[in-house]
Amino acid sequence: MGQDITPPTISSVTSTSPVGSYKLGSLINVTVNFSEAVILTDAKLVIELETGATDRTISINTIASASSASATYTVQKGDQTAALSVNTISLSATGNSPALKDTAGNAMIIFSPTTNLEAAHTIAVDGIAPAAPTGLSATAGNSLVTLSWNINSEADFGKYRIYEDKSSSPTTAIDSTLTVDDISKTITGRDNDTTYYYRLAALDTLGNISDYSSEVSAVPFSRPVAGAIRDGTSDTSDVYWWNSRSTLSFNWNSFQDNGAVSYQYAVGTSLSDLNNTVDWTVVGDTSVTLTNLNLIEGFTYYLSARGTDFTSKSDTATSNGITMDLTNPTPGVVNDGSTKTGTDLTFIDTADVFFANWTGFVDTLSSGVASGVASYTYAIGTSPGDTNVVSWTDIVIQDSLTHTGLALAEDTTYYFSVIATDSAGNSSDTVSSNGVTVDLTPPTKGEIVELKLDDFVKGDFTDRDWTTDSTQLVVYWWGFSDTLSGIDHYEIALLDTDSTIVLWGFGLDWTPLLSDSAIIMFGLSLEDDQIYTIGLRCFDVAGNFSTVYSNGIYVDLSPPYLKEYSTDRILVEDSSLVKIVFSEPIDTVHVAASGERTETVNFVSDIKQDTLFISIAPPLVSMDSLTYFLTGATDTRELVNEDTIIVGFNTRLLGDYDDNLKIDIGDITQFVTLWPNTDIAPVTGDPPYFFSTPDEVTDLRDAMAFARLWRWSNEPIDTSYTAAFQMGEPLDKRITSGGFSVTLPRNARSGEIEIQSQSRIRLTNEGTSENGLFLSKGNASGKHQIINFGLFRESAEGNDPELIFSVDDP
């Protein structure tokens, strides 16, 4: 085993104190670490620290076999370093054999540390306190002291600390400031008439505190507290303008103090010279009215009151100034009847309301300083300046007025008067309007008519009930009058059938007119078959109006047209009356007629309102078609239908009494009933188109003509059998050598007999005779016969007529 001959060394210097900054008086641990355990004998270990301008030393006095040893460094005034470090470590003898050895007896030779303190542990040291504050002063007030001082210049300055006491050299801190720039402080709540002493100290950001500043003292006191001051005579409100050159008034509230206060007043023209007009003068009251002054217009005067208590302390109240305005406002112009500026009426149409407007009232001084118009006063009377309707009434700034609740009399003139007052109280001369007269009665109504333009041009003012022009209308009126204010103008409106106003012209409901008697209304769009009414308003100068309406004018834009006509067939033996109805009353129409088979159609026409009556006279062809041509149909308003209106009628079938377009048993019955008043022959033409020209003789020719029509209408039947049933008594029948006969019932004048047989039969007495008509029709086989008969007269007893038939063998 070898011998230890290696001397110990200092491996590092460290600290158990936290990293950070340390102020004056702070304690900092410094620990020396050795390479091995050492023993200190007859000596102390001296450590020199780098601490700024003056380096500080600390000592370790005892080390008993330890590998580290500590000492404490106290920051002293003036010490300052950003990083505390060790300059030197040395051994200082305290006995005869000083040494620092390891346990093997090897003595330390090198005392420099391998690692210094700042290498791993930064400790900043600031032992420099701020300079003591300078310039401290104290100003006493009512229960307060205000301190002020000079600003410190340290970069690390923190705040100021204030010390106060009622005796000298105060050490009790009562307050502090927040920043270096905060160099004043007001200490409140202090006892008046008591001496207070003050000192300051400055602290840096680490808390290093300076020496005390010089000491100051102050005695708080109470002075009178000025009350509100007012220009003018009112003790509640202040005025800004004054209109008296020789007098001036002002007042103030009593000053507040714990004792009696004496007062002085002064008047000046600026806040920096309060007494250049009236010097400070003692007064025993809180209001002053000065006289015998010579105030200058346009100047502003400041009025001051000073209150002094028994301790000779005082306070001053100064008004906000009062300006001289000695000139009355310039009067303007007053108009009545309207609130519209500049509008002046001569008449009004209201009894309970009065309107007025005014302009031109101004308040201007040559100095350029004027208080301006502040209010107006007005009155209404029956003469200029009179107040017998409305007494003088104050109003705010405005340029028009509506006064309600009146009871004005018609045909009476009223005047509106105005006085302007400026803010200084100067008033203008009274200005009255030229008067307005009350007119409550509308104009007397006249007459109004509608005309056509050509009527108007010709001077024909007869009222028109109709027009055929949709684009224009002439309106003429007369007879309107107004005995008081006179007629001013007219307004016109166009109303439709529903009394709704129709816009025209300028698109107004009621259009003002320049004329006083007539107007041509152009550009209209009147609708057909409508009645339009004209409304006319007549206004007087006061604004009253009366309204009249025309009796209406009908617009007809369409010519007449065919609406309906008779459809009955035309008689061929007698006159027929047909009706052709038009869409409206007509005045004229040309009528022509033709027949398909009738060569000449005889007729007479007549017009009644909207209906054309045509009386058609025989002779006419039976079953003919008649055509009427209507041309130039003109209505009562001169509108012409340029088209030809064609109307067709059909004539009746001759002998067709029941007008069913066939000759049957019913017609036979009627024919024999009318016999011998059945004059239809002679006839020309073929059935059914007979042209009858009665000869006023009834004979067999008439019966034969009728029989021919019956045969045309009853062509051979197609049915072979018709079901029959018994009605009445059975007919008498008898067998003859060639067939059979059937005796007709007594008192029978006409009838129809149907016969069915197995053989071909034939009516042998068919045709016409003096007794009557015996007409038959049958089918092709002749086995089915229908016989129509008609007797001209009743048969005599014992001489009953028979139908005689022949029968062919089957």
Residue with tokens 């307004």, as numbered in its chain: 491
Instruction: Tell me what pLDDT residue 807 has.
Output: 87
Q: Kindly state the average pLDDT of the residues 776-801.
A: 79
The string of pLDDT tens digits covering residues 237-251 is 999 999 999 999 999
Instruction: Tell me what pLDDT residue 717 has.
Output: 61
Question: At 523, which CATH number?
Answer: 2.60.40.10
Q: Kindly state the average pLDDT of the residues 750-755.
A: 85
Q: Kindly state the average pLDDT of the residues 138-153.
A: 92
What angle (nearest 5°) sits at the alpha carbon of residue 20, between those of residues 19 and 21?
145
Q: Is the pLDDT of residue 100 over 80?
A: yes
Q: Are strands 691-692 and 300-308 parallel, antiparallel or unpaired?
A: unpaired
Host domain of residue 703: 665-807
Work out the pLDDT band at 389, boundaries 50, 70, 90: very high
The string of pLDDT tens digits covering residues 24-50 is 999 999 999 999 999 999 999 999 999
Domain annotation covers residue 658: no
Work out the pLDDT band at 304, boundaries 50, 70, 90: very high
Instruction: Tell me what pLDDT residue 366 has.
Output: 64
Work out the pLDDT band at 156, boundaries 50, 70, 90: confident
Instruction: Tell me what pLDDT residue 155 has.
Output: 87
The string of pLDDT tens digits covering residues 737-746 is 888 888 888 7
Work out the pLDDT band at 367, boundaries 50, 70, 90: low
Cis peptide before 170, with omega less than 30 degrees from 0? no
The string of pLDDT tens digits covering residues 182-215 is 999 999 999 888 999 999 999 998 889 999 999 9
| Lowest mean pLDDT across 304-318, 340-354, 758-772 | 758-772
Q: Kindly state the average pLDDT of the residues 492-511.
A: 93
> Closest by alpha carbon to 224, among 319, 315, 140?
315
Same domain, 571 and 544: no
> For the chain, what is the domain count?
7
Domain annotation covers residue 244: yes
Same domain, 679 and 740: yes
- Cα dihedral 17, 21, 27, 32, rounded to 10, equals 50
Final residue belonging to a domain, choices 79, 103, 126: 126
Domain annotation covers residue 1: no
Mean pLDDT of all residues in the chain? 92
Instruction: Tell me what pLDDT residue 477 has.
Output: 96
Work out the pLDDT band at 682, boundaries 50, 70, 90: very high
Helices marked H in 567-714: 665-674, 700-713
Integer Rg of the chain from CA: 72
Same domain, 524 and 644: no
Q: Which of 71-80, 410-419, 680-689 tops mean pLDDT?
A: 410-419
Same domain, 400 and 280: no
The answer to whether 361 and 376 have CB atoms below 8 angstroms apart is yes
The C-alpha atoms of residue 277 and residue 266 are separated, in whole angstroms, by 8
Q: Residue 746: how many CB atoms within 10 A of its CB?
A: 13
Work out the pLDDT band at 797, boundaries 50, 70, 90: low
The answer to whether 571 and 652 have CB atoms below 8 angstroms apart is yes
Same domain, 541 and 569: no
Work out the pLDDT band at 513, boundaries 50, 70, 90: very high
Q: Is the pLDDT of residue 696 over 70?
A: yes
The C-alpha atoms of residue 766 and residue 774 are separated, in whole angstroms, by 5
The string of pLDDT tens digits covering residues 602-615 is 999 999 999 999 99
> Closest by alpha carbon to 591, among 559, 634, 622?
634
Same domain, 703 and 755: yes
Final residue belonging to a domain, choices 93, 126, 159: 126
Same domain, 259 and 348: no
- By 3-state DSSP, what share of the chain in percent is helix, strand and coil, each rounded to 5? 5, 45, 50
The answer to whether 752 and 766 have CB atoms below 8 angstroms apart is no
Instruction: Give residue 445's Cα distance to chain centre.
Output: 40
Final residue belonging to a domain, choices 438, 462, 485: 438
pTM: 0.52
Instruction: Tell me what pLDDT residue 635 has.
Output: 93
Instruction: Tell me what pLDDT residue 798 has.
Output: 63
Work out the pLDDT band at 559, boundaries 50, 70, 90: very high
The C-alpha atoms of residue 668 and residue 664 are separated, in whole angstroms, by 6
Same domain, 688 and 802: yes
The string of pLDDT tens digits covering residues 700-731 is 898 899 999 999 998 766 555 455 555 667 78
Same domain, 704 and 803: yes
Same domain, 360 and 310: no
Q: Which two tokens stand for residue 608?
A: 């009644």
Q: Residue 144: how many CB atoms within 10 A of its CB?
A: 16
Instruction: Tell me what pLDDT residue 724 has.
Output: 52
Sheet holding 739-743, edge to edge: 732-735, 739-743, 802-807, 761-763
Domain annotation covers residue 417: yes
Instruction: Tell me what pLDDT residue 719 has.
Output: 52
Between 751 and 503, name the one with better pLDDT. 503
Helices marked H in 720-766: none
The string of pLDDT tens digits covering residues 436-494 is 999 999 999 999 999 988 888 888 889 999 999 999 999 999 999 999 999 999 999 99
Cis peptide before 619, with omega less than 30 degrees from 0? yes
The C-alpha atoms of residue 791 and residue 801 are separated, in whole angstroms, by 9
Instruction: Tell me what pLDDT residue 224 has.
Output: 87
The string of pLDDT tens digits covering residues 164-173 is 999 999 999 9
Instruction: Tell me what pLDDT residue 519 has.
Output: 93
The C-alpha atoms of residue 535 and residue 254 are separated, in whole angstroms, by 78
Q: Residue 444: how many CB atoms within 10 A of its CB?
A: 13
Instruction: Tell me what pLDDT residue 716 has.
Output: 64
> Closest by alpha carbon to 561, among 614, 633, 467?
633
Domain annotation covers residue 601: yes
Q: Is the pLDDT of residue 766 over 80?
A: no
Same domain, 308 and 351: no
The answer to whether 621 and 689 have CB atoms below 8 angstroms apart is yes
The C-alpha atoms of residue 105 and residue 332 are separated, in whole angstroms, by 126
Per-residue DSSP letter, 702 = H
Instruction: Tell me what pLDDT residue 1 has.
Output: 54
